[in-house]
Chains A and B, each alone.
Chain A
Amino acid sequence: MEVIRLNAVHKTYSDNGVPVHALRGINLSITQGEFVVIAGPSGSGKTTLLNIMGALDKPTEGSVFLEQEDVSLLSRDAIAGIRLEKLGFVFQAYNLIPVLTAMENIEFTMMLLGQDEKSRRERALEVMRELDIEELAGKRPNEMSGGQQQRVAVARAIVNNPSIILADEPTANLDSETGGNLLDLMERMNREHNLTFIFSSHDQNVIDRARRLIILRDGLIEKDEILESQKA
C-alpha cells in the first residue's frame, strides 16, 4: 500500500529576497513497510524533503499525499491531527519534553489523542518493555544519556501505531555503537510491525542499512534504488 506520494514537489525559499530552490520537482512514492534512507550532500534538500513528507512544511508547488489524502489542502489543525495519528518523528536532538519523565513523554501523544490514563499507561509500558527501556520510566531527559533519550524518542514515535516514522539524522548525536543499537531497534520495529521508516542522513552506518536509498543532489533525485543486498 502506498503511504506517501509526492507529485512534482517544488520548494523555494527566499534568502533575503534571493530565491533558493531547495526542491525542484520531486516525484516519489513510498509504500508500507519500506526502510528508506534519503542521503545526499549538505544543501541537497534532504531535510526539506523529510519536512514536506512529514507535513511539517508545505511545498511551493506540487502535491503531497499521505495515505491517499492530499495534505496540502488541509488546515493547520487537520495537518496536526494527521501528524498525530499517522506519523511518528525522531529528531536529531531527541527533543523530549524536559519537564516530563520518559513514561510521560511516551504517553504524551496518546494524551493528545484523548486516551484515558489507564490505557495510556498500559500501552506506554508495553512499548517500553519492547524497547527494553522500562528502567527509564521515571527519569527525566536530563537524567538520561543521548542513546537512552533517543530510544525514548523512538518509543514516543511508535506508541500511537503510526504508519510512517520519519527520522531526521537520528544517529548524528550518538556514538557509533549507540547509533548501531538504535538502528537495530528501528530495523526490528520495521520487520516486526511493518512500520515504514524514512531517514534523512549522511551517516554511512545509516545508509548501509537502507533497503531503499534515495540520493538527492541540488533539490533533485539523483538516484532512487532498491538495494538488492537488503531485500528481504
Chain B
Amino acid sequence: MLFTIAWRNIWRNRRRSQIVMISIIVGVVAVMFNDGLSVGMIHQMLDNQIGSHVSHIQIHAKGFNDNRVVQNYIHQPEIIDRALENTRGVKTWSTRVITFGLLSSAMNSSGGLIVGVDHSREENVTSIKSSLISGRYLSGKPHEVVVGKRLADRLKVGLGDKVVGMASALNGDVGSDLFRVVGIYETVSSEFDKAYMFTSLSSAQNMLELGDNVLEYAVIVDDISQVEAITRELRRTLGGEYEVLSYIDLLPLLVAQVEMYAEMMYVIYLIIGLAMVFGIINTMLMSVFERIREFGVLMAIGMKNSYVFRMVMVEAMMLAVLGTGIGLGLGSLLLVVLNSVGINLSMFTEGLTSFGVGAIIYPRLTIDAVMSVVIIIPMTALLGSIYPALKATRLQPVNAIRYV
C-alpha cells in the first residue's frame, strides 16, 4: 500500500511531477550523450592509432623502443613467428622495418618515417590500404612508396613522382634509395599523414642493408580486451631477448586520456547530480508542505516516523526511477542512431584531425554509462529526498492536523 500511496501522491500535482521528471530525463540524456560522445571520440582516436600503424601488440628486439636504431634488429624472427602461431587469441601479424630518415623530392624535403612492410600481411593489420585517396597500394615490387597526403603536399609530389629516402644503415653509413609514388593515403590524423611513408619490406631492408632481418612485429588480436593477457603470455614465451609492448604501453598518453575522460565524467555527474538534488529537494519539500495536515493525520492514527520517512523517500525514488527509465530509453535511442549516422563536425576538421579523431564522431553507448546512470541518478534522488523526508518526520501531529 505504501507504493500505491506514493504512486498516487506523485500524480496529485501532475504538472510539478512532470517538470521534475523532465528535468531528470534531460539530465540523463545529457549525461549519456556527453559520455557517449567522449567515449566515441577517445576510442576513435585510439582505434585510429591502432588501425593506422600501432596495432595491438608490437614485438621488437629488447631496447628498440627506447633506441630505435636499425642495429636493434630482431635476430631470430622464426622464434617470434612460432610464438605467435602458438598463442591463442592472436589473429594476424605483419613484419616491418622502420626507421627515421630524410625524404626528398625534386621540390622539397622533409623528415619522416620510412616503413618497410610485408604488403600482403600488412593490409590485414593496418588500414593504410583502405585510406588510399589516389593510386594503389604496394604490390611488393621494389622502389614503390605510398605516402601520406600531407607529406605528398609538403614534398610537392604526386603519383609517379620520385622520392629519395635516406637513413642510417646497419653498417653506420647513410643508406639511400630512389622510390616512386604509387599511392597517396589520407587518414583521420594529419600528424600521421605528414610523417609516414610506406614501401615494400625488401626495399627498406636493402636500403638499410638489413638482409632478411626485420625490426618490428605488429600483431592484431581477436579480442582487444584480452590484449594485456596475450602480451603477458608472449613475454613469458619469448623471454628477455625481446620486448613485447601492447598499445597501452605504446600509447600511454592516449590511454591516460581515456582514463581521464572516465574521471571527468564523474565531474559531469556531480554537476548534473547537484542540480538534480536541489530540484528534488524543492519538489519534495513542496509536496511535504502541501500535505502537512495529511502527515499529521497519518501520525495521529499511528504511523511511525520511519514509515513517514520511507513514504517521502519512495515518492522521490519513483519519480527518479521513472525519469531515469524514460531518460535511459531516449538516451539509448539517441546514441544508437548517432552511432550509426555519426555527428558531422567537419567545421572543426582541422582541430579534430590534429588529434587523430576524424570529422565524423560516432558516439558510443557503453554499459558503464548505463550502469552509472542507473545507479547515480536514483541515488541522487534519494539524497535529495532525505531533507524533505526528515522535515516530514519532525512534524508534531497535534499541530499538523490543524495546519491550514
Contacts and interface: CB of A to CB of B under 8 A. Distances in A.
Interface of A: 51, 54, 56-57, 76-77, 80-81, 83-85, 87-89, 91, 95, 97-100, 104, 107-109, 111-112, 156
Interface stretch (B1-9, B43-51, B181-189, B376-384): B1-9
Given A95-B297, A99-B5, A109 B398 contact: no
A152 B91 CA distance: 76
Interface string B119-133: 000000000000000
A84 B300 CA distance: 8
B312 to A, nearest CB: 14
A87 B12 CA distance: 30
Contacts of A84: 301-303
A83 B301 contact: yes
6 contacts: A77-B305, A89-B300, A97-B294, A98-B12, A112-B307, A156-B301
Contacts, number: 62
B397 A77 contact: no
Interface residues of A: mostly helix, strand, loop or mixed? helix
A76 B305 contact: yes
Interface string B1-38: 10011001100100000000000000000000000000
B225 interface: no
Minimum-distance CB pairs A-B, first 5 = A84-B302, A99-B8, A95-B297, A56-B398, A57-B398
B302 A112 contact: yes
Interface in B146-175: none
B67 interface: no
Interface of B: 1, 4-5, 8-9, 12, 293-294, 297-307, 397-398, 401
B302 A81 contact: yes
A112 B300 CA distance: 12
A55 B221 CA distance: 74
Contacts of B293: 95
B299 A95 contact: no
A77 B294 contact: no
Nearest to A166: B300
Contacts of A97: 5, 294, 297-298
Given A95-B401, A100-B5, 11 more contacts: A56-B397, A56-B398, A56-B401, A57-B398, A77-B305, A84-B303, A87-B302, A99-B9, A100-B8, A112-B301, A156-B301
A54 B305 contact: no
Contacts of A54: 300
Contacts of B304: 77, 80-81, 112
Nearest to A117: B1
A54 to B, nearest CB: 7
A10 B364 CA distance: 71
A142 to B, nearest CB: 11
Contacts of B8: 99-100
A83 B398 CA distance: 13
Contacts of A156: 301
Contacts of A81: 302, 304
Given A51-B398, A57-B398, A111-B1, A83 B302 contact: yes
B302 A98 contact: no
A106 to B, nearest CB: 11
A39 B166 CA distance: 114
Contacts of B12: 98-99
A18 to B, nearest CB: 18
Contact of B301 (A98, A100, A107, A108): A108
Nearest to B302: A84
Contacts of B299: 80
Contact of B300 (A56, A85, A107, A108): A56
